[in-house]
């Protein structure tokens, strides 16, 4: 197994609350890894740790074999890990194109950045909106813009935090195709998602987190039939319905 990103025994504590305890995950290169778990399990906090927005209290995070603990979010992004946010962020008064350009122009010469951005906007199906301010975009378009922004940074690993939340079924399918295509572009994807069919459909490996701890991990089919996961998160209806 070729792990590009690893969390080893991560502890995260804020105030009197233990958010993550001895959490271990290992993200394989060029694969899609899903992270699921009930609300409040610590999924987004894990992303905050991996992207440098939260300092951990114990354990280690390794990217390409080197510890990235203590690095700032900007340095971690420059090294190759970029993320989206659960509550969509971005630059509301900048145009869609400019939103994407920020990440590209930060590291590439101007003309290369412009070419990359045009390509990304095209891939995300946002050409018609390219010159509109990002604030007027619908949820679906915003989520795709998030992905475009993340890709513009040239990241090797992208952490997608509920990019399918609030999307209508057609948009979910479009996003699934898009995420699957990232793998073909040599990008490693880590996905937090509550859309079970989506996450089961596109992930190569799934980690289940509950109360900040590892509950289970394995291929989607194995997770779907795991008794502990069904009890803690999926519920009986899901397994009865299909998979």
Partner 1 sequence: MLRRIIPIAVIIVGFSVFPLVTNDNFFQNLTITILIFATFATAWNIAGGLTGLFSLGHGVMFAIGAYGAVLLSRDVGIPVLVAIPLSAVVASLVALLIGLMSLRLSGHYFALATLAFGAIGVVLLNNFADITGGDEGISIPFTPDPWGLVFQGKVPYLFLNLGVYVGTVLIFIALVRSKWGYRMRAIREDETTARSMGVSVLRTKLFAVSLSAFLSSIAGSMFAFYSLYITPENTASVSTSLEPALMSIIGGMGGVFGPLIGAILITLLQQQVITVIGAAVPGLANLIYGALLIVCILLIPKGLLGFLDQLRLSKRIAKKPAQPEEIPEPEKDLESV
Interacting stretch for partner 1, rule CB under 8 A, among 9-17, 55-63, 87-95, 119-127?
87-95
- Angle between helices 96-105 and 139-152 in degrees, nearest 10: 20
Q: Which of 50, 129, 137, 152 binds partner 1 (CB under 8 A)?
A: 152
* Contact mark string toward partner 1, 46..85, x via CB under 8 A: -----x-x------------------xxx--xx---xx-x
Q: Token pair of 54, please?
A: 């939260």
Interacting stretch for partner 1, rule CB under 8 A, among 10-18, 20-28, 170-178, 182-190?
170-178
Do residues 112 and 64 lie in contact, with contact meaning Cβ atoms separated by under 8 Å?
no
Chain center to CA of 141? 17
* Contact mark string toward partner 1, 181..220, x via CB under 8 A: -------------xxxxx----------------------
Nearest Cα residue to 45 out of 78, 12, 77: 12
Do residues 145 and 33 lie in contact, with contact meaning Cβ atoms separated by under 8 Å?
no
Q: How far is the CB of 142 from partner 1 (least distance, A)?
A: 12
β-bridge mates for residue 32, sequence order: 189
Q: If binding is defined by CB under 8 A, does position 163 make contact with partner 1?
A: no
Cα–Cα dist 199/188, whole Å: 15
The footprint of partner 1 on this chain (CB under 8 A) covers a number of residues equal to: 44
SS3 call for 105: helix
Chain center to CA of 52? 14
Q: How far is the CB of 12 from partner 1 (least distance, A)?
A: 18
Structure-token match 């996450």, residue found:
199
Interacting stretch for partner 1, rule CB under 8 A, among 56-64, 179-187, 207-215, 234-242?
234-242
Q: For the residues of 106-144, what is the DSSP string, one character each?
A: TTS-HHHHHHHHHHHHHHTT-GGGTTSBGGG--HHHHHH
β-bridge mates for residue 214, sequence order: 209
Q: If binding is defined by CB under 8 A, does position 11 make contact with partner 1?
A: no
Q: If binding is defined by CB under 8 A, does position 120 make contact with partner 1?
A: no
Binding site for partner 1 (CB under 8 A): 51, 53, 72-74, 77-78, 82-83, 85, 89-94, 98, 101-103, 105-107, 110, 149-150, 152-153, 165, 168-173, 194-198, 234-235, 238, 242
């Amino acid at each position: 197994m070729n792990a590009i990103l690893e969390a080893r025994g991560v502890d995260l504590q804020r105030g009197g609350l233990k958010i993550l305890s001895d959490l271990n995950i290992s993200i394989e290169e060029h694969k899609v890894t899903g992270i699921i778990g009930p609300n409040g399990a610590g999924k987004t906090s894990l992303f905050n740790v991996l992207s440098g927005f939260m300092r951990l209290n114990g354990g280690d995070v390794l990217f390409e074999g080197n510890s990235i603990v203590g690095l700032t979010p900007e340095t971690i992004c420059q090294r190759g890990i970029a993320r989206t946010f659960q509550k969509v962020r971005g630059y509301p008064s900048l145009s869609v194109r400019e939103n994407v350009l920020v990440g590209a122009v930060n590291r590439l010469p101007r003309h290369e950045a412009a070419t990359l951005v045009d390509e990304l906007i095209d891939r995300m199906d946002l050409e018609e909106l390219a010159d509109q301010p990002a604030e007027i975009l619908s949820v679906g378009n915003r989520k795709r813009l998030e992905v475009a922004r993340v890709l513009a940074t040239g990241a090797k690993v992208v952490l997608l935090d509920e990019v399918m939340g609030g999307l209508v079924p057609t948009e979910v399918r479009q996003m699934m195709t898009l995420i699957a295509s990232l793998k073909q572009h040599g990008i490693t994807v880590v996905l937090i998602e509550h859309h079970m069919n989506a996450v089961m459909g596109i992930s190569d490996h799934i980690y289940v987190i509950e109360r900040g701890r590892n509950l289970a991990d394995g291929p989607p089919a194995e997770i779907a039939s795991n008794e502990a996961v069904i009890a803690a998160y999926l519920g009986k209806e899901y397994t009865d319905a299909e998979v």
